[in-house]
Amino acid sequence: MAGAVKAGDVVCVHYRVTTADGDDVDNTLGEPPVSFVAGGTDVLPSISHGVIGMSIRDKRVLKLTAAEAFGERFPKLARLVPRAGLPKEVTVGSPILIKVGSGQVILWVTALDERTAMIDANHPQSGKALTFEIQVVSIDS
């Protein structure tokens, strides 16, 4: 039987994420659990390190500040652009992948009308404190 999660273990977890107002952001209800390396860089550091010491079936609530979650919001990262330059099927909430040098940036469509679109390089949850409810499903040392 596996013991407590240690840095370097692969853990599978179920989770639920809510805002400070209690609004649901995301969860794995009805889906397979998510796996990542404890103490690694696959997920937010507060989550990756937050599972260390947990055992299978343990539940933990982690309250993250905006900085610990998806960072502060930077208004300068949002721009109004002509809609004609975007794919026709774009809708509010759509991610748009843009190549920048050798990397990529995800922009989010936050508003849309017939002529213009507001695109935003901030993560949709940036600037928000979030609560993560986590339950360990399995541990692979």
Rounded Cα–Cα distance for residues 38 and 18 (Å): 22
Nearest CA-CA partner of 57 in 18, 108, 14:
14
Mean pLDDT over the full length of the chain: 94
Query: Which stretch of 61-65, 96-100, 110-114 has the lowest confidence by average pLDDT?
Result: 96-100
CB contact at 8 A, 64 and 82: no
Spatial separation of the C-alpha atoms in residues 53 and 3, rounded to whole Å: 9
Percentage of the residues of the chain whose pLDDT score is greater than 90: 84
- The predicted pLDDT at position 85 comes to 85
pLDDT, position 59:
98
pLDDT tens profile 61-91:
999 999 999 999 999 999 999 999 888 899 9
Cβ atoms of 15 and 132 closer than 8 Å? yes
Structural tokens at position 76: 């300068």
In the prediction, which pLDDT does 98 show? 86
Task: Name all domains of the chain by residue range, CATH numbers in brackets.
Answer: 10-71+125-140 (3.10.50.40), 75-120 (2.40.10.330)
Q: What count of Cα atoms within 13 Å lies in the side-chain half-sphere of residue 62? A: 23
**pTM for the whole thing?**
0.83
